[in-house]
Structure 1
């Protein structure tokens, strides 16, 4: 809302000193904003053109006004009025003319119209050019545009743009729809950092076997993306720090045996030691909850130690094809 601050004129008294006259007009007006919409995409009054498709047969220009863009964007202010101001037309290569036109609405119009087709590109432009208030306005339509299949991509975008509300929205949706998220196309395409965050979000919200399978499918997709062979060494390398978050210790005996059949040399001696330790801890916790069944503490310790040996035997049996298995 623009406010017209009327500066009272002065007049000279008989002795030559200045005195202020009474204010004769003060009212909120919308003249500047109402007229600025007439300048939107107006090539007649524009002093800069953004060029799309330069060097191709499909060149398109979008007209704008340096001063109007500079008022709301530190990036444009530096571009046009900095120490090395941009001269002539400005080539744009990272978005479409249609998306850029939607973005420019924020500088000229009282009411903007954003489409689902371009909302992601418009949000990125708001971040790039430092139009913070416009980026906040993009959050609601941005969230509405994300389907479950696209949620991981949306989450990665929210992290990139540093928009907290949308990040939290995506996290809630990922947790609520954990197993569907793990089967989504965007999950397979997410980068390592986003993958790691998602794994932490869904660990307690889906079955261990579903999460283990999803992690391996993601690792295979990452190998394909990087033109790597699907060797167990490459699969493990793609999983990186997330490897330690995969809940191998939560698999039952049959599931673990199947995993070892499919990925016989993925787990080394150190990995197995860690898994055995986690399984033993889990079993001990379960046994402690039933401690009242034993006549004495000695009986309880004997039972727990026996259970530990059972767990160790089951894991080592599954790992029989590995030459290091006798170390356990």
Structure 2
């Protein structure tokens, strides 16, 4: 009948975006079948949608060498390609986990979808941790993503042990592994690097023996920086060195004269641990008292000590080993003369002291704080100091966690900043 509405699928949707989204995985109007050789999977799609998103697809769909009604993509992971299609039809989609995002990023690069490349790069930078770094390191190198590489370098500098111990370390390609091992690795012992190489070698789908799998990387291990106990406990049982090589290296560790080193051994004896200023990190310690104090009572709590030692921090424990370099606090600013700040172990033994005329004190050598013991920080000076009240604190900064008790400073609630290195 004239004037009657035709019942059509278009009427179900109020916008072009909704209509386009409805065609995702739909055979309606589809003029392309996407196949994945080696997989029992096919996808119906629309040539125009692919061409609208990618110049590569435009050439494949409508160029001189245009594909027929079937598009074969033998090298593309089906799950990642399906996600790519969602992006094309929906205009947006929530990014998946790291492993799939890496695959999507590679497809976006292959098909020159620059907007999606930027989205993937930003997502990977935001989700990057020491544990998942090996999953995206190859892609950062392959796609020459300088921002992602810079973020990887930052994480590797701050947490090299966690990167090398990652359960995903075996996912690194051979070239990416070599690139990573040539970076400054601020590790406390070569055993960490050696065990990472063993883990990587054993995870490769290869018929090679472990030695042959990792032999090109062995010259990057500083065997001479190991102790004799480390070498005997971790290197010799692995069987990656011949008995003659192991004996020669062991004698060189012991500094026996006139024993030639095997070609497989690095000649560097220095440990890698590096306390560079650029790697210094900081964490703020604050405590809140359980009841409010007026400014008047706070002012009244300040009194003068004459060269008397006060506790700044007590019972401080850390998750993971850190190397303390500096302490900053308004309370250690002496009115005259100088202040001496001391780091002590749980038995009260002074690990190191340093003197300052200002708010910040730096130690000549980094002070090692280990998680198996509590530490305290004391201040000896002439000048104002609040009454001896302590409050609990818990502080976290990039996988570093501290807790303990902190003194009130300046007559108010405590605030101290610790500057440290952490290579966990």
TM-score, structure 2 as length reference: 0.48
More strand by share: 2
More helix by share: 1
What corresponds to 2:108 in structure 1? 126
Distance 1:214 1:229 in 2: 16
Structure 1 residues 145 and 49, CA gap change in structure 2 (3 angstroms) = farther
What corresponds to 2:325 in structure 1? none
Q: CA RMSD in A?
A: 3.6
Quote how far apart the aligned CAs of 1:77 are: 2.1
SS, match of residue 119 in structure 1? helix
Identify which of 228, 239, 250 aligns with 2:208.
Answer: 228
The answer to whether the 8 A contact 2:218-2:264 is kept is no
Distance 1:265 1:129 in 2: 53
Asked if 1:239 is matched to 2:215, the reply is yes
Structure 1 residues 105 and 278, CA gap change in structure 2 (3 angstroms) = closer
SS, match of residue 185 in structure 1? coil
What corresponds to 1:43 in structure 2? 27
Quote how far apart the aligned CAs of 1:134 are: 1.0
Structure 1 residues 259 and 270, CA gap change in structure 2 (3 angstroms) = farther
Identify which of 110, 123, 132 aligns with 1:141.
Answer: 123
Identify which of 177, 181, 186 aligns with 2:163.
Answer: 181
Structure 1 residues 193 and 40, CA gap change in structure 2 (3 angstroms) = same
What corresponds to 2:138 in structure 1? 156
What corresponds to 2:388 in structure 1? none
Identify which of 203, 224, 227 aligns with 2:185.
Answer: 203
Mind listing any 5+ residue stretches in structure 2 that lack a counterpart? 1-14, 249-258, 272-424
What corresponds to 1:249 in structure 2? 224
Quote how far apart the aligned CAs of 1:40 are: 4.5
Distance 2:45 2:266 in 1: 66
Mind listing any 5+ residue stretches in structure 1 that lack a counterpart? 1-30, 283-328
The answer to whether the 8 A contact 2:222-2:266 is kept is no
The answer to whether the 8 A contact 2:30-2:44 is kept is no
Distance 1:93 1:260 in 2: 43
Distance 1:168 1:149 in 2: 16
Quote how far apart the aligned CAs of 1:152 are: 0.9
